Amino acid sequence: MPKRKLESTDTPDGSPKRPSAPASDLVLANSSFSGSRLNYWAPCTSSEDRPCDITKDLSIWNEFFWPVGLELRELSMGQLDLAGMSSAHIVPEVPERKHEAVTLLRHLLTYHRCLVSVELNGCILTDHHQLICDALTERPSLEKLKLCLPNMSKRALRSVTAVLPLQNHLLVLECQFTNLEQTFCKGLSEFLRSAVSLKKFILNAPVLMAREGRIIFQGLKQNATITTLSLNTCIRPYLKSHGNEFAEYLRGNQTLRTLILTTKRQNDHVELRLIMRSLFRRTTLSEVKLVGFTMNDYNSRRVALLLSKNQSLRDFHMVNCNLYSDGCMPKSVRTRHWIAALRKNKTLEKLTMELSCFTVEECKSLFEALKSNASLKKITVERLRPTEEAVVCRAMRETGVRERFFLRDSCIVQDPGATLTECKDLSFLDIDSRVLSEFDRFRTALRLLPSCSHVTSLTLTVWEELLDDNVTSGLIAQYIAGTMVLRVLTLNLVSGNWDPVNRVKKALVRALSVNKSIRRLHICGLCFDESETRVLAETFKSSRTLYNVAFLPNDQNSTISLVQKLLPNFSTNYTLIGLHVHRPEVVQGDLFTIDDVLRRNVSLVTLAAQFVAGMRRRYLAAAAELVHSNPLLVELLRDVTSVNEDEVLSQIRNSLKSYSELDDFMRLAGVVKCGVTCHVRDDGQKQLADIGRDCWLRIRQYLKMGDILDEQ
């Protein structure tokens, strides 16, 4: 274990002081927005059947964490997560507020077993790192720790690394830096070497230099627990000097199963060549993900060769990668390397790649090769050639491999007639008025959209020359109001220095207000008046399908108006889990209230998913009753169970019906252990057990699991 320099909070023998129990007379100031008082010294009451009592006061706790960019969330039944907020209004110039947040964090770490996941950012650590690290020494049972440490002092880094070896239950460690410092790397390496529980390690830094990289990998080489390694950094300097060491690490490691490499320099072909050289060694890896690389001819052939030879990989993903630097496969190569890879590999099950560099004939050859590959079940395609999507999709169907392909990225429509009418396989479309160049072609696309029942995601970009056109705006509004299948809509309304007449915007917001299918909505551009933001606010609050909204107009007043109109009765919304807006200073208090409701809704969806999955607890059932119709819950369960949406809806209904009867309800509520029985009354009056099933079901319509109070 690395030794720490003696600090002011240490004892003479160098051991950290145990934080003293919080004094009952130590009272925090009133909270920032609601002016509430917080009884933060209450003990942890978390158990298997009920969450800690502080979950009832998370709104007040978060008023104190808000100034330092953190938020306390309910992660799952009985577990809390202190996570960073990218949109939070950090106030470093108010030391009193920061000290209050540190006090609460220290108390949580020391006394609350329900806190299992923590993120520490530079704002809360600066000037208070020793107090927090002392509390961490008292809390060795954290499961996840994320360190976001930009420009921290060596003293602070030493404090952090000194407590890492004490985290004996840590499953996930994520480190995010603007600059890797050797002092921290040495402490990190020591922790990685001796970690007994760590399963996932994530490193996010601009660049991994040779010396720091070698220090970290010295610890990784001796680790026997990590199954997932994610490096979000440029690793060329390290690989150039120690490439063999990295390759030996991969070859000699017996526990690593997943490797994720995200480049910071897209066109660095040397970096990818060094990576591929290491992957050719025999490893235990079953999943590799390369993110953001652009490949030259040599590297692309090496990837294909790797897939043809490797017998351990089950998943191989090239996410946001270009297979060839110039976007076109060299004629001398054609498809033979990729065809050979698909024919020879008998173990790969999932593959992500782009197809925009392949011609139609080359795609057909790939599809024919895929027919003979029984193991490859799913291929995620990121891009196709814009003018050949329909022909490529037809070739997929004709060769019998269409069901194995998932077309992920939006297709940029260049020929509305061919793309919208001939190709029913493209469900993600991008229609841009300037890409189509002619008004009539853009209007043709808009007229065809209502008949395209296969389109579930649409990005619609309308430039200024068409925004004030009555025909165009009418077609857009008609489609939005009438569609029953569209799930994702992005509206990019580019107006330059002027704003279109109000009738265009009013038609748009009116159409959005009657839509019943859109789940994710992104509006970018224009300026909206009071009446328009009022309609939008009511739409966002009342919708039972919209769960994620981005509203990014051209002016600040539109945002302020929307936020202020969202606030009244916003807590009655149980559908929205994300609202992305500009955050003017004048509405910070309103935004906190909105964010708190969104935080609550996310937690409820998570808890409800656990109930539907089979964990029968009263607290989870209460959550399921509140958000059973939330589309995010449906999508979450669909992804986990790999069944279609109708089956997921059936699972949700059945889980709610599982306690509809009197005895089932009372058992789940914890009122009885077996069934409801009542002593006979002297006056012969009916009691609860005598009312009959029909009467109970009538009562049940008004009685929710959340109405049952905790035992005092």
Contact 291, 322 (CB under 8 A): no
Look at residue 23 and tell me whether its pLDDT is greater than 50.
Answer: no
Is pLDDT larger for residue 61 or for residue 25? 61
Instruction: Say how far apart CA 161 and CA 593 lie, in whole Å.
Output: 36
**pTM tops 0.75, yes or no:** yes
Q: Where are the beta strands (DSSP E) in 448-562?
A: 457-463, 488-494, 520-524, 548-552
User: 682 pLDDT band (50/70/90 cuts)?
Assistant: confident
Look at residue 163 and tell me whether its pLDDT is greater than 50.
Answer: yes
Contact 428, 410 (CB under 8 A): yes
For 332-369, the pLDDT digits (tens) are: 555 778 888 888 999 999 999 988 888 888 889 889 98
- Burial class from Cβ neighbours inside 10 Å (0-12, 13-18, 19+) for residue 162 reads buried
What tokens were used for 262?
């995200």
Q: Which of 62, 54, 100, 57 is nearest to 79 (CA)?
A: 54
Instruction: Say how far apart CA 475 and CA 443 lie, in whole Å.
Output: 8
Q: Which of 655, 709, 661 is nearest to 688 (CA)?
A: 661
Which element (helix H / strand E) includes 378?
strand 378-381
For 388-419, the pLDDT digits (tens) are: 888 888 899 899 998 898 888 788 888 888 88
Which element (helix H / strand E) includes 70?
strand 70-76
Residue 280's pLDDT is what? 87
Average pLDDT on 572-597 reads 94
Distance of CA 636 to the CA centre of its chain: 11
Residue 328's pLDDT is what? 61
User: 329 pLDDT band (50/70/90 cuts)?
Assistant: low
CB atoms within 10 A of CB 110: 19
Residue 710's pLDDT is what? 78
Helices (H) and strands (E) in the chain, counts: 27, 20
Distance of CA 117 to the CA centre of its chain: 16
Residue 501's pLDDT is what? 67
Residue whose pair of structure tokens reads 């991008």 in the numeric block = 430
For 83-135, the pLDDT digits (tens) are: 998 765 665 567 788 889 999 999 999 999 999 999 999 889 888 889 999 99
Which element (helix H / strand E) includes 289?
strand 287-291
Look at residue 8 and tell me whether its pLDDT is greater than 60.
Answer: no
Contact 379, 373 (CB under 8 A): no
Residue 409's pLDDT is what? 78
Contact 261, 290 (CB under 8 A): yes
Average pLDDT on 616-643 reads 94
- Burial class from Cβ neighbours inside 10 Å (0-12, 13-18, 19+) for residue 254 reads exposed
Residue 209's pLDDT is what? 94
For 250-272, the pLDDT digits (tens) are: 988 999 999 999 998 877 888 88
Residue 267's pLDDT is what? 76
Residue 479's pLDDT is what? 97
Give the three-state DSSP class for 147. Answer: strand
User: 330 pLDDT band (50/70/90 cuts)?
Assistant: low
DSSP class per residue in 437-450: -SHHHHHHHHHHGG
CB atoms within 10 A of CB 399: 17
Which element (helix H / strand E) includes 120?
strand 115-121
Ordered by start, the domain boundaries in the chain are 1-170, 609-707
User: 28 pLDDT band (50/70/90 cuts)?
Assistant: confident
Is pLDDT larger for residue 294 or for residue 567? 567
Look at residue 327 and tell me whether its pLDDT is greater than 60.
Answer: no
What does the radius of gyration of the chain's CA atoms come to, in whole angstroms?
29
Question: How high does pLDDT run on average in the chain?
Answer: 88
Instruction: Say how far apart CA 93 and CA 113 lie, in whole Å.
Output: 32
Task: Measure Cα distances from 614 to 384, 609, 647, 655, 656 in Å.
Answer: 41, 9, 15, 8, 11
Distance of CA 487 to the CA centre of its chain: 18
Least confident of 28-32, 74-78, 161-165, 647-651: 28-32
Give the three-state DSSP class for 472. Answer: helix
Contact 124, 152 (CB under 8 A): no
Vertex 87: Cα angle to 234 and 260 (nearest 5): 25
Instruction: Say how far apart CA 681 and CA 687 lie, in whole Å.
Output: 8
For 636-668, the pLDDT digits (tens) are: 999 888 889 999 999 999 999 999 999 999 999
Q: Which of 630, 583, 563, 643 is nearest to 603 (CA)?
A: 630
Least confident of 203-207, 293-297, 508-512: 293-297
Amino acid at 593: T
Packed helices 236-252 and 269-279: angle between N→C axes, nearest 10 degrees: 10
DSSP class per residue in 553-590: -SSHHHHHHHHHHH-TTGGG--S--EEEE---GGGHHH
Residue 407's pLDDT is what? 86
Residue 285's pLDDT is what? 93
Q: Where are the beta strands (DSSP E) in 133-257?
A: 144-148, 172-176, 200-207, 228-234
User: β-strands 378-381, 144-148: how paired?
Assistant: unpaired
Vertex 285: Cα angle to 282 and 289 (nearest 5): 120
What is the percent of the chain where pLDDT is above 90?
A: 57
Residue 414's pLDDT is what? 84
Look at residue 565 and tell me whether its pLDDT is greater than 90.
Answer: yes
Residue 650's pLDDT is what? 96
Look at residue 232 and tell me whether its pLDDT is greater than 90.
Answer: yes
Instruction: Say how far apart CA 504 and CA 500 lie, in whole Å.
Output: 7
User: 281 pLDDT band (50/70/90 cuts)?
Assistant: confident
Contact 311, 336 (CB under 8 A): no
Instruction: Say how far apart CA 126 and CA 696 lie, in whole Å.
Output: 58
Q: Which of 427, 394, 422, 424 is nearest to 411 (CA)?
A: 427
For 450-501, the pLDDT digits (tens) are: 999 999 999 999 988 888 888 899 999 999 999 999 999 999 999 876 666 6
User: 171 pLDDT band (50/70/90 cuts)?
Assistant: very high
User: 19 pLDDT band (50/70/90 cuts)?
Assistant: very low
